[in-house]
């Protein structure tokens, strides 16, 4: 590939005390990460919008991102207003990430039906159209199967124009096709399993390459303007990559976030875009190879990896 995009990095914090949250955000900035991101869950996290505003207000060197808002937890008109407000108050530093949701337990907590993936994707598609119209600032109406908007004049208008960068994240072909057509940043993940969780069989590089090919073909002329994002779930800094991957494999697929829906080998973990094993140099070279194969250049790491990943960020974010 020629003219490879430059790397940039993001991370966040699950701290539930203001001083600890801001300490983590400042460390994120000091270590060279460019974006502080927050997930949108019903459990174990602060509310996403006020948290990002607090970080933006105290860390002017960082962009802030929703990674990602669960669409079914937010009415699109209200969410667009809050996002535009955050973009204005942060002086144009918001990245708006949206997803279709994938954890049934959260829906149960909120009393929201966890409907089949095609329905959640339809709602997300309507939300994307509504949000884009709201960000444009002109009065509009929308008549969808899931949302109706009547003569709404949006306010405020975001500082970033034509809008804050829109990230769409997921792993199924329908969502990736939507992202190819509508997003600025495409976050490619293992697909959600039918009963919730992420499919373990899609952890390898082969799966990411196939999905990026789908995005490239669906995007057409838009491909050159898209940014591909990946999420590092975990990393082990070690001099013996294979031994670390083999030791990690068993516990990984014993339930939890990844569903053992097919064979996953140590080799799959070693070439996975979602895990990293080795020295700082090994991990940096691993990410460079993934970028060469797929164009993925925006790397978000889980909060517990922030410090350990710092040397890798220093090697690549320049």
What six digits make up the tokens of 277?
């094993």
Tell how strand 148-152 and strand 140-143 pair up. Answer: antiparallel
DSSP string, 266-311: HHHHHT-TTEEEE-HHHHHHHHHHHHHHH-EEEEEE-GGGTTTTHH
- 105-161: per-residue pLDDT in tens? 899 999 999 999 899 999 999 999 999 999 999 999 999 999 999 999 999 999 999
Going from the C-alpha of 60 to that of each of 11, 14, 66, 92, 124, the distances in angstroms are 16, 20, 17, 11, 31
| Residue extents of the structural domains in the chain | 8-316
CATH, range 8-316: 3.20.20.30
HSE value, Cβ hemisphere, 13 Å, CA-based, for 53: 12
- 5-18: per-residue pLDDT in tens? 999 999 999 999 99
Give the pLDDT of residue 2. Answer: 57
- 240-285: per-residue pLDDT in tens? 999 999 999 988 877 678 888 888 899 999 999 999 999 999 999 9
Peptide bond into 162 cis (omega under 30): yes
Give the pLDDT of residue 29. Answer: 97
Give the pLDDT of residue 255. Answer: 65
3-state DSSP call for residue 9? strand
- 34-84: per-residue pLDDT in tens? 999 999 998 888 999 999 999 999 999 999 999 999 999 999 999 999 999
Number of CB atoms found within 10 A of residue 159's CB: 16
Q: Which of 2-6, 39-43, 180-184 has the highest mean pLDDT?
A: 180-184
Give the pLDDT of residue 202. Answer: 94
Q: Is the pLDDT of residue 89 over 60?
A: yes
Secondary structure of 81-119 as H, E, C letters: HHHHHHHHHCCCCEEEEEECCCCHHHHHHHCCCCCCHHH
**What whole-number distance in Å separates Cα of residue 141 and Cα of residue 146?**
14
**8 A C-beta contact, residue 129 and residue 77:** no
Of 38-42, 213-217, 231-235, where does mean pLDDT reach its minimum? 38-42
In which residue are the tokens 């591909």 written? 228
In which residue are the tokens 């970080």 written? 55
Which value, in Å, is the radius of gyration of the alpha carbons in the chain? Answer: 19
pTM equals 0.96
Give the pLDDT of residue 90. Answer: 98
HSE value, Cβ hemisphere, 13 Å, CA-based, for 84: 22
3-state DSSP call for residue 150? strand
**8 A C-beta contact, residue 309 and residue 301:** yes
The stretches of the chain forming alpha helices (DSSP H) are 18-30, 48-58, 76-89, 104-110, 117-136, 173-182, 205-219, 241-252, 266-270, 280-294, 310-316
Q: Is the pLDDT of residue 194 over 90?
A: no
In which residue are the tokens 């990844």 written? 258
Share of the chain above pLDDT 90, in %: 86
Q: What is the mean pLDDT of residues 28-39?
A: 97
Axis-axis angle for helices 117-136, 173-182 (nearest 10): 10
**8 A C-beta contact, residue 277 and residue 206:** no
Give the pLDDT of residue 1. Answer: 44
Q: 210: which residues sit within 8 A by CB, 6+ positions away?
A: none
Q: Is the pLDDT of residue 179 over 60?
A: yes
**8 A C-beta contact, residue 276 and residue 206:** no
């Amino acid at each position: 590939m020629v003219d490879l995009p430059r790397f940039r990095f993001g991370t966040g914090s699950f701290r539930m005390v203001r001083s600890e949250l801001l300490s983590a955000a400042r460390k994120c900035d000091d270590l060279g990460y460019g974006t502080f991101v927050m997930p949108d869950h019903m459990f174990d996290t602060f509310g996403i919008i006020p948290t990002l505003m607090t970080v933006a207000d105290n860390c002017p060197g960082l962009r802030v991102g929703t990674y990602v808002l669960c669409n079914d937890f937010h009415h699109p008109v209200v969410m667009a207003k809050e996002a535009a407000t955050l973009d204005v108050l942060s002086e144009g530093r918001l990245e708006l990430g949206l997803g279709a949701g994938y954890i049934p337990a959260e829906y149960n907590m909120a009393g929201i039906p966890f409907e089949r993936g095609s329905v959640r994707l339809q709602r997300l598609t309507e939300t994307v159209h509504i949000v884009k119209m709201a960000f444009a600032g002109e009065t509009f109406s929308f008549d969808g199967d899931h949302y109706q908007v009547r003569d709404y004049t949006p306010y405020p208008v975001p500082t970033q124009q034509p809008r804050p960068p829109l990230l769409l994240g997921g792993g199924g072909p329908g969502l990736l096709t939507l992202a190819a057509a509508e997003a600025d940043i495409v976050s490619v993940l293992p697909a959600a399993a039918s009963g919730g969780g992420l499919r373990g069989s899609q952890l390898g590089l082969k799966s990411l390459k196939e999905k990026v090919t789908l995005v490239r073909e669906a995007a057409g002329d838009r491909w050159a303007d898209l940014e591909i994002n990946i999420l590092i779930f975990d990393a082990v800094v070690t001099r013996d990559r294979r031994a670390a991957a083999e030791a990690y494999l068993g516990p990984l697929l014993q339930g939890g976030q990844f569903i053992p829906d097919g064979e996953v080998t140590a080799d799959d973990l070693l070439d996975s875009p979602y895990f990293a094993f080795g020295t700082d140099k090994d991990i940096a070279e691993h990410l460079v190879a993934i970028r060469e194969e797929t164009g993925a250049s925006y790397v978000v790491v889980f909060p517990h990896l922030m410090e350990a990943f710092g040397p890798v960020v220093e090697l690549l974010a320049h």
